[in-house]
Structure formats: structure tokens, C-alpha cells
Amino acid sequence: MSTLEDVRPVELASESWLSPGGRPDSLMRRKHGLIGAPVSRIDGPLKVQGKATFAAEFPIDKMVYAALAYSSIAKGRIATLDTGEAEAAPGVVLIMTHRNAPRLQPMPMILTGAKALGGDNLPILQDDRIHWNGQPIAVAVAQTQEQADHAASLIRATFEAEPAITDFAEAKAKGVEQGQFFGHPLKVEIGDAEKALAGSTAQIDALYSTPRHTHNAIEPHAVTLAWKGDELVVHDTTQAVSHCAWTLATVFGLDESQVHVTSPYVGGGFGSKTFWQHHVLGAAASKLAGRPVRLALSREGVYRLVGGRTLTEQRVAIGAASDGGFEAIIHTGTSAMTPHNALPEAFILQTQTLYRADSFKLCVDVVRLDMLANTFMRAPGEAIGTFALECAIDEMAVKLGMDPIELRIRNEPDQHPTQGKPFSSRNLVEAWRAGAERFGWAARRSTPGATRDGEWWIGMGCAASTYPYNRFPGGAARITLSRDGRARVEIAAHEMGMGTSTAQTQVAAERLGLEMDQVTFAYADSGQPGVVMAGGSQQTAAIGAAVMAAQRALVAQLLQLAGNDSVLAGLSPDEVGGLDGGLARLDNPSQWESYAAILARAQRDEVTADGIAPPPSETQTWSMHSYGAMFCEARVNAVTGEVRVSRFLGAFDCGRILNSKTAASQFKGGIIMGLGLALMEETQFDERSGRIMNPSLAEYHVPVHMDVPDIDVIWTDIPDPHAPMGARGIGEIGITGAAAAVANAIFNATGKRIRDLPLTLDKLI
Ligand code: MOS
């Protein structure tokens, strides 16, 4: 029998990668061919020509435009609402308020059901109640966007305010609750960590804080939609077309088949392109107006309607023996959320995974504030949890006089530290070694403030990064193979700019034994198979597993069609795979017949197969995570406190990399977002009124080109035998660890330890 490496394109039995002792997906070992190749985006030319149609660009006949008016109190009721002037304004079709809006079900809130997608479950425009400062109170619908915006500005409201909780300290004083994540309490206790800490030779015990963040995808949220009788067609920008269709159907009392959602291009999601009140208001206004409606949120609209990352206060305490071995890790704290959402910041997740210790005490408490519902934002939990943990590790390295990389490697676990499961594949130490070598870590001076270039202090810092491999249930795909040797792969998945359509075309072509230009990857339509969320860095695995299942069903059908006259006669689906435009015997690829010949002999023009991905049992058996080692060089101006990141390197261990070009962009994009998290991003929330005070990119700062140095990314490319294609997720790993690497570099440069994000110059002078 040939080895995996030299039977180039032939598939092994499907799903064996799931079970202990099973055989991994053979695509993970492909050395040549499409897997890993730096293929440019297949949608790139469309995008640079402006021919990729985004949600707010779909034309519909007789369409009208919507704009929103917002509350200016955090809690209470609308006392008076005067829409007369707005209704009389030029081009106005209607003004929708709680008085005339259709009666609707609340939107099912994300994490409360398999396809529930709502950011909250509040009955907006169903009564006169106000739940947050910025909540929509009216929708102006007009012939043009400008007329709608003008009419919205003419809506006059007064409010009866009620006491609201908008102050974090006040909310904490009322008491905290145990935080829950996906139905599980965010709490782990192993041994007596407080006692172990007290008895340790070296102790670190520090408080870290992280602010609110608002989503700023380059494409603001928008829907263009039309009712056709009782059916609703929606052009959305979403990370979850099937969930969106079901959620809208539930709100309007329809069957999900009556709602058809497409989202072919998404200008960034990061966890925010789920389902918010503008979906409901747009569809309701369209129903009321009897016209197709476009509701495109302004940038301010995104700040008022779409939640982001919420604030946290975190304590990290570490007790170590004199040799650096951890005796206690404590990571506890409080996250703010609202009475109407299901997501605290799960900032302890990475602390369960990264290091071994004799004892652990991990807990997330929550308090409830009257504010816009917070939500997922790229590596929710981990992005800010690694800031606290990885700064504390750096503080411990300083205390012990150890190199921070060596301290981390000293505490590298050989199994999951708090669950005891074996790792599917963990090569973080290799990432540390390769990254340190390439970054020139050996030249770092461990004494803070030792390197200066004129006015600038220069320092180097590092941090570990991790994010789980996820694969949510619901993956399904359809493959249609035609006699001309072309295949169409359909799955209700998403392209948010990360390169999914390109990488998945590569994978499907390789799996089928076709060229890339013979494969069409059709996605982002709720009519397609699968309930796939482009979130949790899981979409690649979800699609991969579904396409594996569909391909196996296709092979079974083809073998049946091939019949007794084929060289493949008598073989089972597990014994053959795709090769050079046909099927070949696994252990003897010269036993081959083309797809065209099989279909011609059977007098078929095409064959279609559906497959359902198996349940994600791999994550029950193994601890599966992506890892990274982050390196930062920062320059801090001794006079002004200005920080410039001058170099950054990420060394990643994420299994097999499927497209080295789009993957590098994902890693770099995550790191850039991490630089924003470290140095500038902060939603200014007025704790007296609950108002977001900086709802624009003029006052909410994200990194621009001048803020971003050359970023170097490398990866181990060691396949994970328990993941489809050997690949773990890469979408969220880049942001985790990045802020700590910056903070640790700043400490190395200046000797100043800032534990409160963002690391702005006022904290450094
Ligand atoms: Mo990501 S925050 O799961 O879109």
C-alpha cells in the first residue's frame, strides 16, 4: 500500500479523521497541488472593478430608502413624538413609529436556539419603551436617502426618563452574577489556588482593564429587501444567511422557506454581521410602505444599533516556584452586559488552555447595564483575556529574572491543563523557537529602558496567542458534477473578505481531482444546503467536513453509475477518490476512469449528491486550538509618550494552511486589529447618560497605514490529523496576544507597566 504522501490525489475513507485511531483527511498531507498554494482571490477582479454587489448596492424597482431617529435617554418611555414636520418633508413616503409599526415577535437572541441570530430580543417600535440610549424610535422612509435622512432629523421626541444603570461601579455595587458561555458557567476551580498563591516563592497579582469597543467593518450594516406577497427577499451583509432567514421568519410569523437571504460579499464582519434591529425595522417599513426598502446604517447608526466588545476588569494572579513552575493561576473579574443579551466577555478561555499549573481559579462575573447589547467581536473573550494573562506572565518573568519565552515554555502543558484531554496537535514551542529566531529576540535587552535612539525608547515584547478550533453542527453541502467535467459545490457559507470562496474552490478542486477553473463554489444563499455561521473561526472546518461528506456521497453514486463495465467495478466508496478529472482506486491509481466516461456510459448529463457533515465529535475527544507566538518592537517617545510599533511578527501553529496568500492576510489583519486594541480603540461611553459619545471614525480611532509597520507572519504548517484538511481556524488568532505583546514591548522600552487599555500616550508621560 502506498503512503499518504505519494498517493497524490486519492481520497481516504471519509470521516475517519473524527475517531481515535482513524486516518486523517489525506488532503492535509498534499505536498503539491492546490492545498497551501498562494492563489489570488477569485473575487479580487470583481472587487477592484466595483462589480461585486454589496447589500446596499442591489437595485430593486420602486425601492425607497430608510433612515432612523434615535432615543437620547437610556431608559424610560417616549412622552411625545411629533412626526408632522417629517411627514410633510419632501419625498417622504411614511414615518414608522411604535404607533403604526406592524405587530411582531421579538427577534430570537443569538445562542438561545440553533438558528437564533438576534443581538438582543427587545420589542423595538412595539411600544413606547426605551431600553438604551440610541435605540431607534422612528423610521423615516423616503424617495432618496438624503430625503430620508432629512426627514429623520425632523422627528421631535420628548422622553420620560426612569432611573437607569449606566455606571459600571454602580452596577457592580448592586451585585454580580455568574457569567455563562454557550450555556456553561465561566468558572473553573482546581485545587486551592489562593492558598497555593500565598505559599508561592514568586507572586504576581494585578488588575487589568479593557474598554468597550465598537465594530467598524469597512462596510456598514445594511439590508435591501422586498416583499413578494408573503415572501421576503433580503440582500444582507451577514455572517449567517440561514440563521438570518430563520430569525426574520420567526419575527414575522413566517416559515423560514418564505424568507430568502443572500449575502454574496461582506465588507468585514468580525462578529457584528449577525442580526440587529435594522433587519426587523427595514422589513417592517417595507411591509407598511408596500415598497422595497433599503436600510443602510450610517456609521453613527452602527454605533447606536450594533453592539461591540464590552468592558472588563480582570484580576490575574500567578504563583510560581523559584524555577518558574506555576503553582497557581488565578484569572477572575467582571464583564458588563445588558439584561437582553447572552454574551459576557469570556476572558478566561485562553487561561484554561495555555499553561500548566498545580491549581487554577478562573471565573467571569457579569453585571447588567442599560446600554446597547454587547456582542461578539473578533476573538471575544480571548482578545482581551490574553492581554491580561500575557501581561501577567511578562510581569512574572521580570520578577523571576527569566526570559519570558523560556518561562512560557517551562510551563508548556502536555495535555489540556484544566480538562485533561489530549491535544490534537500543539506545536506552540516550535512557533516560539521559529519566531524568536526570525525576530532576533536574542538581541533584546532584558533591562527596561536600556535601549534609546534619540528621544525614543525602544523595547521588545512577546505574548502567546490561542483560539479554539470550532466546528458547529449544521454543515451540509451539495455537489453537482456534469459530463463536461465541471463541478458546482453549493453551501450556505460566507465570504467576508477573508478568502473563503478562493480557498474553498482550491480544496474542492483538489478533493474532486479537478482544476480550479472547473469548480464553481456557490455560497451565501439561504436556499443552499447547510446552516453555517462564519464565526468562531469555524467556517473552514464546517465547509470542509460538509464537502467531504458530499464528495463521499458523490463517489458512491458514481460507482453505481459506473457499473460492471468500469475498471472500478466492485470497489466501495472508501476505496476510491478523485484524480485527474475522474475516480481512481486508492491503492492503485492506475485503475482510473474519467467522470466524463462514467456519465456518458450511464447516459447522464450530470449527477448531484448531498452530504451532511458528521457531528463535531473531534472536539469532544481532543483539545483543539490554534496557537501563536507574537513579537513586537515598540518605540516610545520619551517626551510625548507617543507609541510607534516599529516591527511585529506572528509565528502561528494553526494546522495546515490552505492558501498561503489569503491566510497571511488573515493573520496580518488580526494583528492590525490587535494594534488598534492595544493603542487606540475605545468607545467613549458617558456613564451619566449611557450615550456613546464618539460615534464616528473621526473620534473612534482605528489603525491607519501610518500606524502599521511591516508585519511578518510565519507558520508551522503542521497538519492537525483531527481536522478536515488538517486545518484549524485562522480568523481570530491574530488579534489574541497582540495587545499584550505591545504592552510588554512598551514595558521593555520604558519600564512602565500599563494595565489599562488602550495604551494611550497620556498613560505613558
Ligand atoms: Mo467571530 S467574533 O466569531 O465573527
Determine whether the shortest distance from the Cβ of 273 to ligand 1 is under 6 A.
no
CA of 568 to the centre of ligand 1 (A): 44
Which strands, in side-by-side order, build the sheet including 156-161?
129-130, 76-82, 156-161
Buried b (16+ CB within 10 A) or exposed e, 418-438: beeeebbbbbbeebbbbbbee
pLDDT, residue 356, reads 98
CA of 653 to the centre of ligand 1 (A): 19
The C-alpha atoms of residue 162 and residue 175 are separated, in whole angstroms, by 20
The C-alpha atoms of residue 360 and residue 351 are separated, in whole angstroms, by 9
Determine whether the shortest distance from the Cβ of 269 to ligand 1 is under 6 A.
yes
**% of the chain residues with pLDDT over 90:** 95
CA of 239 to the centre of ligand 1 (A): 9
Is 190 in a helix, a strand, or coil? Answer: strand
Determine whether the shortest distance from the Cβ of 376 to ligand 1 is under 6 A.
yes
Average pLDDT over residues 698-712: 97
The C-alpha atoms of residue 304 and residue 299 are separated, in whole angstroms, by 9
* Ligand 1 atom with the shortest distance to the CA of 376: 2
Determine whether the shortest distance from the Cβ of 268 to ligand 1 is under 6 A.
no
Whether 732 is a known active-site residue: answer yes
pLDDT, residue 182, reads 87
The mean predicted confidence, pLDDT, of the chain is 96
The C-alpha atoms of residue 57 and residue 734 are separated, in whole angstroms, by 31
Query: Cell digits for 290?
Result: 408596500
pLDDT, residue 1, reads 31
CA of 380 to the centre of ligand 1 (A): 7
pLDDT in tens, 193-243: 999 999 999 999 999 999 999 999 999 999 999 999 999 999 999 999 999
pLDDT, residue 14, reads 52
Q: How many CB atoms lie within 10 A of CB 765?
A: 12
pLDDT in tens, 241-279: 999 999 999 999 999 999 999 999 999 999 999 999 999
Phi, psi of 326 (to 5 degrees): -80, 130
* Ligand 1 atom with the shortest distance to the CA of 272: 4
Cβ neighbors of 20 (< 8 A, separation 6 or more) are 621
What angle, rounded to 10 degrees, do the helices at 500-512 and 539-562 form? 30
Cell 491580561 found at: 388
To test ligand 1's pocket by mutation, which of 732, 733, 735, 736 has the most ligand atoms within 8 angstroms of CB?
A: 732
Q: Are 142 and 93 a contacting pair, CB within 8 Å?
A: yes
The C-alpha atoms of residue 702 and residue 258 are separated, in whole angstroms, by 40
To test ligand 1's pocket by mutation, which of 270, 500, 673 has the most ligand atoms within 8 angstroms of CB?
A: 270
pLDDT in tens, 486-531: 999 999 999 999 999 999 999 999 999 999 999 999 999 999 999 9
Determine whether the shortest distance from the Cβ of 426 to ligand 1 is under 6 A.
no
Position 4 pLDDT exceeds 50: no
Determine whether the shortest distance from the Cβ of 271 to ligand 1 is under 6 A.
yes
CA of 538 to the centre of ligand 1 (A): 9
- Classify 685 in phi/psi space as left (phi over 0), alpha (psi -120 to 50) or beta: beta
pLDDT, residue 620, reads 92
Q: How confident is the model at residue 23 (pLDDT cuts 50, 70, 90)?
A: confident
Asked which of 23-27, 302-306, 567-571, 589-593 is least confident by mean pLDDT, the reply is: 23-27
Buried b (16+ CB within 10 A) or exposed e, 564-602: eebbbeebebebbbbbebbbbbbeebebbbebebbbeeb
pLDDT, residue 183, reads 87
Average pLDDT over residues 41-70: 97
pLDDT, residue 43, reads 96
Determine whether the shortest distance from the Cβ of 468 to ligand 1 is under 6 A.
no
* Amino acid making up residue 87: E
Given 395, 495, 682, 732, the catalytic residue: 732
pLDDT in tens, 134-162: 999 999 999 999 999 999 999 999 999 99
Radius of gyration of the chain (CA): 27
pLDDT, residue 147, reads 98
Q: Are 670 and 378 a contacting pair, CB within 8 Å?
A: yes
Is 332 in a helix, a strand, or coil? Answer: strand
Burial of 117 (0-12, 13-18, 19+ CB in 10 A): buried
Position 443 pLDDT exceeds 70: yes
Determine whether the shortest distance from the Cβ of 536 to ligand 1 is under 6 A.
yes
* Amino acid making up residue 463: A
Query: Cell digits for 424?
Result: 490534537
Position 8 pLDDT exceeds 80: no
Position 3 pLDDT exceeds 50: no
To test ligand 1's pocket by mutation, which of 376, 496, 733 has the most ligand atoms within 8 angstroms of CB?
A: 376
Q: Degrees (nearest 5) of the Cα angle 403, 408, 413?
A: 155
Position 342 pLDDT exceeds 90: no
Position 6 pLDDT exceeds 60: no
